[in-house]
Amino acid sequence: MGGDVPKQFLPIGGVPMLLRTLRPFLAHPDLHTAIVVLAPELASSPPPWLGELAGGTLRLVSGGAARMDSVEAGLGALPSACQIVLVHDGARPFPSAGVIDAVIAEARHGRGAIAAVPLADTLKEAEDSTEARPPIRRTVPRAGLWRAQTPQGFPRALLERAMADARRNRVLGTDEASLVERLGGQVVLVPDSSLNLKVTTRDDLLLAEALAAER
């Protein structure tokens, strides 16, 4: 994203992105503890609007260099009472209550679950090239392909076991579901909406502003 302000702190419709992300979880009746994993300097000195929320239900912890490091830090900060764990991107500010409910329900049945959207676009695999306009290697059939989103939810013991196994084998997962799959655990897809977008670029921020204006 660039800029001096971390993207998860940028305002969307006048509300910090991370605060929009947190609200549906903090309002959920089954929530016991919410962990916000941040860069160490932000965890120790958060912006006032976030620091005021910390304590009790919401805790701030320092993360690591990779996503897996940060998820491990969050897991380590959870009280033992939390036996169902949801992982969500801080830059995904529009999770729906219905999808959160569905992910929790699947995790309570002993399996992993992830919010996901079926692919609608035609996929092209490019040649491994440094060219600005790389040639197409092949068209990839999109039937049965889904785009993974968050929240991703798991029984805590299953996620901890999968992450420990990945750490022992020096596997760095791009998401939690891939680590559980690697261990042989079942993970199901919970149909989600593309409106649950992840803000990565300035274009995404414009889309998020438009969505916020309609809510």
Residue 174 reports pLDDT greater than 90: no
Judge: domain 7-213, CATH 3.90.550.10: yes
CA distance 111 to 103: 10
DSSP helix/strand/coil, 46: coil
pLDDT (tens digit, 9 = 90+) per residue, 195-204? 999 999 999 9
Q: Residue 184 corresponds to which amino acid?
A: G
Q: CB neighbours of 123 closer than 8 A, spacing ≥ 6?
A: 139, 140, 141, 142, 145
pLDDT (tens digit, 9 = 90+) per residue, 183-197? 999 999 999 999 999
Global model pTM greater than 0.85: yes
